[in-house]
């Protein structure tokens, strides 16, 4: 990586921070995400390496993931309204993280859905994360992994099979959702006559790409570390991300 490449990345980030006016919050969020991308990518692959040496876990997760691909193609994709519910639930969960009050939670079978939430903690930064929540938050996998350390041994390996199913669902559903929402076209909001932009169209392609990629890598790496090491893996993963990011920039220097 040389100076022209760095300048090109900065220009992309600046361009992604514009929408009618320059958004400083988007600029600094994008810069922070890009700075930690080397460590995030390394932690993601390290998580898979840790999983690969745990023979008591990885085979069940792998079989569940393969089953999840089949189930998504045959069943989940055709359950109209289910992916919409999961999409709006992700918005709502991120809103709750920012201490927002959920005013409306609307899901329709064929016409999409929406949520309304109060303004408050986090301001515009919180709004950006809430808007992009469904694209980086693997809701079902998140809850499944977080409760795993509390379950009795008799639940395994069946429960790890279930985690694999949720992982496949989340990843394949994410691909479909991003493909559908990667547009500036306006659509009629569910249950209203109002036309609005998609989440990604509203936040901008460059900003959305950077934030979704960084947070997706961060959350998945955390879940992989927790899956293998329990809750002690959270801090280990954070240290790993910081260390690998530092090593990367020391190498560049």
Number of C-beta neighbours around residue 95 at 10 A: 25
pLDDT for position 251 = 84
pLDDT for position 190 = 67
pLDDT for position 107 = 86
In three-state secondary structure terms, 168 is helix
DSSP state of 133: H
pLDDT for position 253 = 77
* pLDDT averaged per 10 residues, the chain (length 253): 64 70 86 93 96 93 95 84 89 94 86 85 91 94 96 94 96 91 77 76 90 96 96 96 92 80
Which among 137, 130, 138, 98 is positioned nearest to 114, based on CA atoms?
Answer: 130
pLDDT for position 15 = 65
Rounded to whole angstroms, the Cα distance separating 171 from 193 reads: 32
Which pTM value belongs to this model?
0.91
CB 92 within 8 A of CB 105: yes
pLDDT for position 112 = 78
């Amino acid at each position: 990586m040389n100076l022209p490449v760095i300048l090109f990345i900065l220009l992309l980030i600046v361009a992604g921070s514009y929408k009618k006016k320059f958004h400083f919050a988007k600029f600094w969020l994008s810069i922070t995400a890009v700075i930690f991308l080397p460590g995030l990518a390394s932690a993601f692959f390290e998580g898979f390496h840790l999983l690969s040496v745990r023979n008591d876990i990885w085979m069940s997760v792998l079989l569940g993931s393969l089953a999840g691909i089949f189930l998504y193609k045959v069943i989940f994709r055709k359950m109209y309204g289910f992916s919409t519910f999961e999409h709006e639930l992700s918005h709502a969960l991120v809103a709750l993280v920012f201490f927002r009050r959920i005013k409306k939670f609307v899901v329709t079978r064929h016409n999409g859905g929406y949520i309304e939430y109060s303004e408050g903690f986090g301001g515009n930064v919180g709004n950006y994360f809430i808007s992009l929540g469904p694209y980086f938050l693997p809701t079902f996998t998140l809850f499944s992994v977080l409760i795993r350390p509390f379950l009795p041994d008799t639940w395994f390996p069946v429960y790890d099979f279930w985690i694999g199913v949720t992982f496949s669902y989340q990843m394949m559903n994410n691909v479909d959702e991003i493909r559908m929402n990667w547009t500036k076209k306006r659509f009629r909001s569910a249950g209203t006559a109002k036309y609005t932009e998609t989440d990604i169209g509203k936040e901008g392609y460059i900003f959305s790409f950077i934030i979704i990629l960084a947070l997706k890598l961060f959350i998945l790496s955390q879940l992989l570390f927790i899956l293998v090491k329990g809750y002690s893996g959270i801090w280990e993963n954070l240290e790993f991300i910081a260390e690998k990011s530092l090593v990367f920039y020391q190498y560049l220097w």
